[in-house]
Amino acid sequence: MAKTLFDKIWDAHVVREVAGGLTVFYIDRHLIHEVTSPQAFDELTARGLTLRRPGQIVATADHNVPTRHQDQPIQDPLSRSQVDKLTENCARFGVELYGLGHQYQGIVHVIGPELGITQPGLTMVCGDSHTSTHGAFGTIAFGIGTSQVTQVMASQCLLLDKPKRMRITLDGALRPGVTAKDLILYMISQLGTGGATGYFVEYAGSAIRGLSMEGRMTVCNMSIEMGARGGLIAPDATTFDYLAGRRFAPQGENWDRAVAYWQTLYSDEDAVFDAELQFDASAIQPMITYGTNPGMGIPLAANIPVLNGGSEATSFDKSLRYMGFQPGESLLGKEINYVFIGSCTNSRIEDLRTVAAYVRGKQKAAHVEAIIVPGSKQVEQQAIAEGLDKVLAEAGFELREPGCSACLAMNDDKIPAGAYCVSTSNRNFEGRQGPGARTLLASPLVAAITAVEGRLVDITQYLN
């Protein structure tokens, strides 16, 4: 029987079916961080339970760590308490921790792939919704709640409903200035924030196959923003080349056996999906959001839509009031106060290279505060080794230390109320980057050009 890629991985991890149509599902890798793990460790302790397989868990500190002076004690009491608790719990339960100061510390969805922890055919979970990032490797990866974190810790399994399968195919060559971030913002704008609810999405087509692994991670990262349980992409030579030689990737004969298995991970030609969508990638333009959810996206050079009544009119109007925009308005020329380049969506070395390549020899606008936060210590060190830190500094950008930073403002990195921020992160909810902050989601290239110009422009006019 023909199977989808998702079905092949799912079926290989079913422990047993139980009454009510639920499945006891095995989890290969469990990533944890300082925000959603303390309660789980506390419950284990209260119930006298131990970790089922501590060697399958990797921890890091990322969500609310400071991005300056990480060699000094954390000043914020809550952040300090959570990071200290993570350190204490990992030592007590025997979990590998890449904490502040460790050469592998960073955003949990950046370090997993770059260390080779993320591999095709695995199942991975984390108490964070953007765990879908790891699906770029042909992995079933999804975010879980704190009670489920406890379940996985104690049993290495979850009790799940099997999601439906959706395939989104993007064919065609990308226009100049169009990146993976534009592809996923476009898809979300077409489906809406609930368009893939109940589905696990496989991304396919020539435009997807032409992306780097960093680009594929950006696409899968934001699957959750259109309601999907997760997203995944069939592994190929690009995947194998990325993983070869990484710290925890298979080596020697094990590598050869692994690749032989990974090459079987694709959707069979006659596989049936519950839903299929196709888009012409060559028609997609550089994108930006104008509202307060990631589905409110438009081509950068287009006007904000006008809604004439309908069930969404009230929330649409509320969103525009928050953002200070008008229906039908063009965003071109809008002055921007902040540019944030970072988050698990766009903080990898490819993103930093894109920004540095554009700003080399230029200066950011005087009124713009531009910060760039690498996704990990390894990204930071690679940027320094390539001299990107100097390029960015000469252009007026501040290169910070790794962490989630202004993506969710759980640390000191906040955008002031009323200020506009072009951000490479994944969510533009009210207050996401700080109370009253106004977030416009875009690609690193759009962010870099905006920082230099100090306003939103049609970036296609600024490309060589």
Q: Using one digit for the tens of pLDDT, what is the confidence trace for 361-372? A: 999 999 999 999
Whether residues 307 and 443 share a domain: the answer is yes
Q: Quick one: average pLDDT of 30-55?
A: 96
Query: Has residue 312 got a pLDDT over 90?
Result: no
Mean pLDDT of 244-261: 98
Q: Which residue has the tokens 């204490």?
A: 88
Does 458 reside within a domain? Answer: yes
pLDDT above 90: residue 183: yes
Predicted pLDDT of residue 309: 78
Q: Do residues 122 and 49 both lie within one domain?
A: yes
Instruction: Note whether 39 and 155 are same-domain residues.
Output: yes
344 is in an annotated binding site: yes
Q: Are residues 249 and 336 in the same domain?
A: no
DSSP assignment letter at 23: E
Residue 135 domain flag: yes
Residue 4 has pLDDT above 80, yes or no: yes
pLDDT at 464: 75
In a domain, 281, yes or no: no
Confidence of residue 323 (pLDDT cuts 50, 70, 90): very high
113-134: average pLDDT: 98
Q: Which two tokens stand for residue 400?
A: 């910070």
One domain for residues 204 and 321? no
Torsion angle defined by CA atoms of residues 144, 145, 150 and 153, in that order, rounded to the nearest 10 degrees: 20
Q: How many domains are there within the chain?
A: 2
Residue 282 counted as domain residue: no
Triad 23, 37, 19: Cα angle to 5°:
15
Check whether residue 258 and residue 355 sit in a common domain: no
Over residues 398-406, mean pLDDT? 96
Residues 247 and 312 in one domain: no
Q: Residue 311 has what pLDDT?
A: 79
Q: Is 79 inside a domain boundary?
A: yes
Phi-psi region at 179: left, alpha or beta (left = phi > 0; alpha = psi -120 to 50): beta
Surface-to-core class of residue 3, CB atoms within 10 Å of its CB (0-12 exposed, 13-18 middle, 19+ buried): middle
Closest CA to 212 of 353, 102, 75, 100: 353
Per-residue pLDDT band for 124 (boundaries 50, 70, 90) equals very high
Indicate if the pLDDT at residue 263 is higher than 80: yes
pLDDT of residue 197: 98
| The pLDDT of residue 143 | 98
- Residue 270's Cβ-count burial label (10 Å; 0-12, 13-18, 19+) is exposed
In a domain, 24, yes or no: yes
CA distance 43 to 40: 5
* pLDDT reported for residue 308: 82
Burial class (CB in 10 A: 0-12, 13-18, 19+), 382: middle
Percent of the chain exceeding pLDDT 90 equals 97
Q: Are residues 87 and 52 in the same domain?
A: yes
Q: Does 126 show up as a binding residue in the annotation? A: no
- Mean pLDDT over all residues of the chain? 97
93 with 23, same domain? yes
pLDDT at 320 over 80: yes
| Residue 144 domain boundaries | 5-276
End-to-end CA distance of the chain: 50
From CA 409, how far away is CA 433, in angstroms rounded?
Answer: 5
In which band, very low, low, confident or very high, does the pLDDT at 317 lie, cut at 50, 70 and 90? very high
- Whether residues 220 and 174 share a domain: the answer is yes
Chain centroid, CA 82 distance in Å: 22
Q: Kindly state whether residues 337 and 423 are assigned to the same domain.
A: yes
Q: Residue 377 maps to which CATH number? A: 3.30.499.10
- Confidence (pLDDT) at 282: 98
What are the counts of helices (DSSP H) followed by strands (DSSP E) for the chain? 15, 19
Q: What is the pLDDT of residue 49?
A: 96
pLDDT exceeds 80 at position 6 = yes
Please tell me the predicted confidence (pLDDT) of residue 179: 98
Tell which of 228, 249, 276 closes a domain: 276
**Is the separation of the CB atoms in 153 and 52 below 8 Å?**
yes
Cα 200 off chain centre by: 16
Query: What average pLDDT does the segment 454-462 reach?
Result: 97
| Angle formed by the axes of helices 349-359 and 444-453, nearest 10° | 30
Q: Quickly state the pLDDT bin for 278 (edges 50, 70, 90).
A: very high
Q: So what's the pLDDT on residue 85?
A: 96
- DSSP string of 148-180, one letter each residue: HHHHHHHHSEEEEPPPEEEEEEEESPPPTT--H
Same domain, 377 and 341: yes
Sorting pLDDT into bands at 50, 70 and 90, what band is 75? very high
